[in-house]
Amino acid sequence: MSLLEIVAVAVSFLGIWLTAGRRLLCWPVNLLACGLYFKLFLEVRLYSDMVLQALFGLAILYGWISWIRGREEAGDVIVSPLPAKRAVVGLTIGAMGGLAIGWITSRYTDAALPWMDAGLSSFSLVAQYWTARRHAASWLLWIVVDVIYVGMFVFKELWLTAGLYAAMIGLAVLGYRRWRQARDRR
């Protein structure tokens, strides 16, 4: 456990908590968390997750703009349903991306867990896109991804990060409930 990991965990927890509450401040906080985890994942050779953090940075900028545009007059972020066809397309893209990234990182890098890292990274991008599009279903995908991430981080002995992802499962459950309630009130 390093100081970098401790700070990354604290900032990430705050960012996810703000996201669950549909607070616009979540976006700059999550951007900072991406930068911190980019450096940490580079240090422990989880390259897919390192690249994921850079891509999250771009997705965060997109999400920030989307949330600013997708607010009610009172300032609340509007939650949108995820059509079944889009869900299937997103999950298919996640699977294909995981296979492609896993193949590349298993052949051309010294990645510690190339296939798992690639699959989790790919599906995390799908979940992040769904979050940016304000779909409550994003939280369900985050729950699945975070459960598997906990195991991977325990294996890599990133104990604090594993604890963060365990806590993020709880935050994802909270986020899903809050977002469904907000959507159902409309």
Instruction: Indicate the DSSP class of residue 70.
Output: S
pLDDT at 158: 85
For residues 18-40, one letter each, b for 16 or more C-beta atoms within 10 angstroms of the residue's C-beta and e for the rest, the string is bbbebeeebbebbbbbbebbbeb
Distance separating alpha carbons of residues 24 and 68, to the nearest angstrom: 8
Question: Is residue 79 situated within a structural domain?
Answer: no
Question: Is residue 26 situated within a structural domain?
Answer: yes
Distance separating alpha carbons of residues 120 and 51, to the nearest angstrom: 12
pTM, full prediction: 0.84
pLDDT at 73: 65
Q: For 73, how many CA atoms within 13 A lie in the half-sphere containing its CB?
A: 0
129, 59 Cβ separation under 8 angstroms: yes
Question: Is residue 8 situated within a structural domain?
Answer: yes
Distance separating alpha carbons of residues 99 and 105, to the nearest angstrom: 10
pLDDT at 184: 78
Quote the tokens at residue 85. Answer: 């066809």
Question: Is residue 34 situated within a structural domain?
Answer: yes
Quote the tokens at residue 170. Answer: 């709880």
Other CB atoms within a 10 A radius of the CB of residue 15 amount to 24
Question: Is residue 77 situated within a structural domain?
Answer: no
Question: Is residue 78 situated within a structural domain?
Answer: no
List the domain range (segments joined by +) for residue 39. Answer: 3-71+84-185
pLDDT at 75: 67
Judged by DSSP in three states, 77 sits in: strand
Distance separating alpha carbons of residues 14 and 128, to the nearest angstrom: 16
Distance separating alpha carbons of residues 69 and 91, to the nearest angstrom: 26
Q: How many domains does the chain have?
A: 1
Name the β-bridge partners of 77: 71
Question: Is residue 22 situated within a structural domain?
Answer: yes
pLDDT at 144: 97
Average pLDDT per run of 10 along the chain, which is 186 residues long?
90 92 92 95 84 89 86 75 96 97 92 91 93 93 97 91 92 92 78
86, 138 Cβ separation under 8 angstroms: no
Question: Is residue 76 situated within a structural domain?
Answer: no
pLDDT at 88: 98
